[in-house]
Each structure stands twice: as C-alpha cells, then as structure tokens.
Amino acid sequence: MRETPLILAIDNGTQSIRALLFDTRGNLLGKGKQEIEPYFSEQPGWAEQHPEYFWDNLGIACQQLWQTTSARPQQVVGVTVTTQRGTVVNLDREGKPLRPAIIWLDQRHAQVDGPVKGPWGWLFKLARLEDTISRFREKTQANWIAQNQPDIWAKTHKYLLLSGYLNYRLTGEYRDSTGSQVGYLPFDYKRQCWAGHRDFKWQVMPVTPGMLPELIPPGEQIGTLLPEAAAHLGLPGGLPVIAAASDKACEILGSGGLSPETGCMSYGTTATINTTNARYVEPTRFMPPYPSALPGHYSTEVMIYRGFWMVSWFKREFGLREQKLAEQKGIEPEALFDELVNAVPPGSMGLML
C-alpha cells in the first residue's frame, strides 16, 4: 500500500516553534515543539529577537518531530508556514538580516513630524482622523528604523514580516502569503493586496514597492524547498512550499470558524475573538478586518493584548511542582493545570486579572 501523504506545518509562535505533521484529512500525526525566548530588550519597551534564532530553533523543532514519530520524511508532500503577526525583518541584498527583528510586542514609537501633507491631510482633518493617523505613523516600525538607524534603512533591500523571512529561507523566493499580512505595512486590507500608488500609506512610511515580497493567495505554491533548507528540516529537497496565513487566521480555519455566525475564541499569547466574513466589516471604526486563511474572506477581530501569556508566567513562577510531575508522566504541565482549574469555583473567588 502507498504510504499516507503528509503535510509539514511550521508554526513560529511568540513562545515556541512547532513542527506539525498532518495527514490530508487534518489529523495530527506528529509534533515537535521547541520553546524559545520571546524577545530580548535593550531599552525599556523594546522587544527584539534575531531572525536566525527563529530559523535555528525551527531546525531543532523538526529534529524533535522526527525523533518522536513513526512517520517518515519521505511521506511529506508539502510544507507550509504560519507565524506570529506583525514581526518585521530587514534584509540586505544578500538576504542577510541587518538588525534584530522587531517583535509585535515592541512599544517604541517613531516621531511624527506634522500632519500628512496634501489632499490626504485635508481629508483626515475634515474626518477628524488626524489622531488616528498619527498613532499609525508612530507605531510603524519602518518609520522608527528610518529615523533612528538611517544607515540600516539605507541598506535595506527587502522589508519582510517573519513569515516572509521564513518562506525566503525555505525557497529563496521573496514571496509571502496574502493571509499573513497583518502589521504596519502599505497593505490594502479591503482588496487584500499592496496598496495602490495613490494610497496615503506610501506617503507616511519610507517603504517602497520594491522592498516588499510578492503576495501569494493562501493555498497556492510559494516555491520549492531548497536543498539546504530541506536538510535543516530533515526533508527531501524540491518539495512544494504552500502559502498558509497568519497564526490567528490558521487557528480560525482549524476550528471551523468560517462564517459570521460563529465566534472563534483564541487563547494564545494574545487572546482574540474572530468571525469570518466574505464582506469587509470593520470590527471597530477604522480598524480593518484582517485577511482570512480562506481566500477572499476577512477575519473581524477583537483582541486582549496579553491574553494567555499569563499561563506561561504562572507556570514559570508558581508551577514547579506541576512541571516536575508532568515530566515524570510524559505530559504537558498545562494538563495538570486543568485539575487546578476544576477545583476552583466559577468566578475564581473574585480573582481578577
């Protein structure tokens, strides 16, 4: 009998990197998980991590996968990547990182020099959107880099999200999924493509079209696996790399939340609730819905910024007993936390977070 074909899904989250094997019916058949340091901080409010650190730990996660499954690398017929959202990477002309990646948790702000000039500035003033646009400009990482590290920005050949960086390391192609474009970029969330040349976003950030990757719809091929990347993942070379979407978008797809009537709650580092819609509906005014993993659809999202990171914090600070027990039993410590949760009455005795 022909062996079951498998998909290797790479999930580069904020706190860990996972290598996941699925069959074509969506069953999880193998998992390698490598916990990572979310970021380092050289200044108050900064959150950075070296892009190579993510790549190196991705290889470790794959090594763990192949050590803990009976599946064979030769069964893999495709690779796909999902990552944390909004983390940006500057690459030079050789494809090498010029500086640490700025993580989505980073709190630095660029300086805003006056209102937007020209017709857009008048429109924003009439619509009373000047404060909204100023916050957008302040939070745009590219503006901070251009202002504070102009030599780095001058050398920047490509400006990618983490997903685009990993897809480049896998294929050698500057391509990324449309479904991964969540961040302070010149992206048209309604049309799900790079903004038109007249869009105000090109005016308020130093990014140029040539610095951005080619966008590929979810489900279509980004490229083929390079030999050196295949060796890093423990796979045969030449396999297709398929466009996925952002981590939240993939969670929604995996949970079956594919209609506006279904709310999908995600308990990650950031906690969110999402619905999927074929229509462009802003969840709050001037906050765009993000691209869905379902091509041509949107994810209307509301978030709590620091969500279930608190679970990791609790485990590190107070869960030594559960960690040791879990190691003896060969299970995740969070499974033992379920027992603690069940012992607490509804309302958590008034405890508030």
Q: Which of 333, 245, 254, 266 is nearest to 35 (CA)?
A: 333
Backbone φ and ψ of 15, nearest 5°: -110, -10
pLDDT for residue 121: 87
Burial of 131 (0-12, 13-18, 19+ CB in 10 A): exposed
Task: Write down all domains in the chain, each with its CATH number in brackets.
Answer: 6-106+155-245 (3.30.420.40), 319-350 (no CATH)
SS3 196: coil
Backbone φ and ψ of 99, nearest 5°: -160, 170
pLDDT for residue 237: 92
Amino acid in the structure at residue 109: H
343: which DSSP letter? T
Q: Which of 86, 89, 106, 83 is nearest to 249 (CA)?
A: 83
pLDDT for residue 25: 92
Q: Which of 47, 122, 45, 37 is nearest to 87 (CA)?
A: 47
SS3 119: helix
Cβ atoms of 184 and 145 closer than 8 Å: no
pLDDT for residue 233: 98
In 133-283 the beta strands, taken as DSSP E runs, fall at 158-161, 175-177, 187-188, 193-194, 214-216, 221-224, 240-242, 264-267, 271-277
Q: Which of 163, 50, 159, 36 is nearest to 100 (CA)?
A: 50
pLDDT for residue 320: 86
How would you write the pLDDT of the chain (353 residues) with one tens digit per residue?
A: 468 999 999 999 999 999 999 999 999 999 999 999 999 999 999 999 999 999 999 999 999 999 999 999 999 999 999 999 999 999 999 999 999 999 999 999 999 988 888 888 888 888 888 888 999 999 999 999 999 999 999 999 999 999 999 999 999 999 999 999 999 999 999 999 999 999 999 999 999 999 999 999 999 999 999 999 999 999 999 999 999 999 999 999 999 999 999 999 887 777 889 999 999 999 877 789 999 999 999 999 988 766 666 777 788 888 888 889 988 988 888 888 888 888 889 888 888 76
Per the listing, tokens 């990993």 go with: 166
Neighbour tally for 138: CB within 10 Å: 15
Cβ atoms of 249 and 268 closer than 8 Å: no
pLDDT for residue 177: 98
pLDDT for residue 1: 41
Q: What is the spatial distance between Cα 191 and Cα 260, in angstroms, rounded to a whole number? A: 19
Q: What is the spatial distance between Cα 115 and Cα 122, in angstroms, rounded to a whole number? A: 9
**Which residues are 35's β-sheet partners?**
16
Q: What is the spatial distance between Cα 336 and Cα 290, in angstroms, rounded to a whole number? A: 35
Cβ atoms of 335 and 316 closer than 8 Å: no
Cβ atoms of 291 and 179 closer than 8 Å: yes
Burial of 77 (0-12, 13-18, 19+ CB in 10 A): middle
**Greatest extent of the chain over all pairs of C-alpha atoms, in Å:** 69
